[in-house]
């Protein structure tokens, strides 16, 4: 019991002791019997308590638990470690964005997080993203919790039992010649047409377009920074260069970047802005257009016109040729051509 509680109780007991109690006879300090007044003794005790407690400020004892989390702190350390390992700025931003979202869902110390928590988080994302994105989330969680375990922040890894999400084996479709012409006909700005032709001619990832400078283009070749900050050379055909030059001549601002915003201060546009450019075109023709569709289309056209997988692998920036083989599945015409060329007649 605290000193304050002891003081209150001592005061109350002192006042009660002023009441004479003997052989069941209750009397006040003047010796007057209170036995015949059934309510007077209660009133006297109530009066003692009230007069005593009025001299104190009393608050409710706090018994509830205050939840704390060290997850944001550990995320900060994790990102710092990955930066030292040489991960690209783009990758670090993706990791941070994902883990900050995860931390907003799980408000626990990292040592208390369990497999059920992780599964609940993944389950909340099922309606928001496709299976491949869910698997990317699972992989990021596994990587993060392996690091926590290696750094001895946790003794047991709750992500160890997470299983990959089964992905549908649907082949993604490339754009048809008719759709491409429809897209071209419905470009209303020089920037829209330049973006469309550039993506189709190069097959680059949308993230590789961001930050490209005009000076990066030399004799139809461009040096881009791909995944893992690996550089490679891509090529731009004459048609794409024609629309790029037309765009550069008519745009406002004096920026060194290839694709920029249409309003001052004319900064280079990000991946989301490029997606919006394509969405605007798609809305006009009621066609769902996304940046990667141009990468599929580039790959299919390349194979259909006689290119081989090894060359395509280099152009796309794939480390593993098995990844490039996925794009070959999108080109039925390429398979038909190969069959006609090499099968027994």
Domain of 147, in residue numbers: 71-161
Query: φ and ψ at 26, to 5 degrees?
Result: -95, 125
Alpha carbon separation from 175 to 108, 137, 168 (Å, rounded): 47, 29, 21
Q: Are residues 199 and 88 in the same domain?
A: no
| pLDDT the model gives residue 311 | 82
Q: Are residues 148 and 237 in the same domain?
A: no
Residues of the chain with confidence (pLDDT) below 50? 1, 20-24, 171, 345
| pLDDT the model gives residue 103 | 93
Q: Are residues 87 and 181 in the same domain?
A: no
The encoded tokens of residue 155 equal: 């003794």
Give the residue from 105, 131, 161 where a domain finishes.
161
The encoded tokens of residue 262 equal: 């249409």
Could you give the dihedral angle defined by the CA atoms of residues 17, 20, 21 and 23, in that order, rounded to the nearest 10 degrees?
Answer: 150
User: Is residue 30 reached through a cis peptide bond, with omega within 30 degrees of 0 on the bond before it?
Assistant: no
Please give the DSSP secondary-structure letter assigned to residue 253: S
Inside any domain, residue 112: yes
Q: Where are the beta strands (DSSP E) in 244-316?
A: none
Q: Give yes or no for a contact between 240 and 202, defined as CB atoms under 8 angstroms apart.
A: yes
Angle, CA of 242, 206 and 266, to the nearest 5°? 65
Q: Are residues 323 and 244 in the same domain?
A: yes
| pLDDT the model gives residue 222 | 87
Q: Are residues 86 and 119 in the same domain?
A: yes
Q: Which helix (H) or strand (E) holds 234?
A: strand 231-235
Please give the DSSP secondary-structure letter assigned to residue 108: S
Put residue 314 in one of left, alpha, beta given phi > 0 → left and psi -120 to 50 → alpha: alpha
Q: Are residues 105 and 38 in the same domain?
A: no
Q: Are residues 311 and 181 in the same domain?
A: yes
| pLDDT the model gives residue 263 | 81
Inside any domain, residue 200: yes
Inside any domain, residue 63: no
Q: Are residues 189 and 324 in the same domain?
A: yes
Q: Are residues 124 and 243 in the same domain?
A: no
The number of folded domains in the chain is: 3
Q: Give yes or no for a contact between 253 and 264, defined as CB atoms under 8 angstroms apart.
A: yes
Inside any domain, residue 341: no
| pLDDT the model gives residue 58 | 62
User: What CATH number is given to the structural domain containing 147?
Assistant: 1.10.150.130
Inside any domain, residue 154: yes
| pLDDT the model gives residue 1 | 47
| pLDDT the model gives residue 345 | 45
Q: Are residues 192 and 283 in the same domain?
A: yes
Q: How many CA atoms lie within 13 A of 144 on its CB side?
A: 30
| pLDDT the model gives residue 22 | 46
Q: Are residues 150 and 282 in the same domain?
A: no
Inside any domain, residue 166: no
- How far is Cα 103 from Cα 98, in angstroms, rounded to an integer? 9
Q: Within a 10 A sphere around the Cβ of 203, how many other Cβ atoms?
A: 23
Helix axes 177-185, 190-202, angle to 10 degrees: 150
Give the residue from 133, 161, 189 where a domain finishes.
161
Q: Are residues 28 and 104 in the same domain?
A: no
The H-assigned helical ranges of 218-268 are 238-250
Q: Give yes or no for a contact between 131 and 139, defined as CB atoms under 8 angstroms apart.
A: no
Inside any domain, residue 343: no
């Amino acid at each position: 019991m605290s000193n304050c509680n002891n003081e209150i109780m001592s005061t109350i007991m002192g006042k009660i002791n002023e009441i004479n109690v003997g052989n069941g006879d209750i009397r006040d300090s003047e010796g007057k019997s209170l036995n015949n007044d059934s309510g007077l003794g209660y009133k006297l005790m109530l009066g003692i308590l009230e007069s005593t407690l009025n001299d104190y400020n009393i608050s409710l004892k706090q018994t509830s638990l205050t939840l704390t989390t060290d997850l944001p702190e550990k995320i900060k350390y994790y990102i710092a470690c990955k930066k030292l390992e040489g991960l690209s700025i783009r990758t670090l931003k993706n990791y941070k964005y994902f883990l900050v979202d995860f931390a907003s869902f799980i408000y626990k110390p990292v040592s208390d997080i369990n497999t059920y928590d992780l599964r609940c988080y993944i389950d909340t994302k099922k309606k928001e993203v496709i299976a491949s994105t869910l698997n990317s989330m699972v992989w990021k969680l596994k990587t993060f919790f392996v690091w926590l375990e290696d750094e001895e922040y946790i003794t047991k890894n709750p992500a160890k039992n997470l299983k990959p999400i089964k992905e549908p084996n649907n082949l993604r479709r490339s754009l048809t010649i008719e759709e491409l012409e429809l897209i071209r006909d419905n470009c209303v700005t020089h920037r829209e047409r330049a973006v469309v032709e550039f993506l189709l001619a190069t097959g680059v990832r949308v993230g590789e377009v961001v930050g490209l400078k005009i000076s990066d283009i030399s004799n139809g070749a461009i040096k881009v920074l791909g995944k893992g900050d690996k550089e490679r050379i891509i090529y731009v055909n004459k048609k794409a260069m024609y629309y790029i030059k037309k765009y550069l001549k008519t745009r406002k601002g004096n920026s060194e970047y290839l694709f920029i915003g249409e309003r001052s201060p004319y900064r280079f546009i990000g991946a989301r802005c490029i997606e919006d450019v394509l969405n605007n075109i798609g809305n006009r023709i009621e066609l769902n257009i996304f940046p990667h569709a141009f990468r599929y289309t580039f790959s299919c056209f390349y194979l259909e016109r006689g290119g081989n997988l090894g060359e395509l692998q280099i152009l796309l920036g794939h480390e593993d040729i098995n990844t490039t083989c996925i794009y070959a599945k999108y080109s039925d015409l390429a398979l038909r051509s190969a069959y006609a060329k090499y099968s027994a007649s």
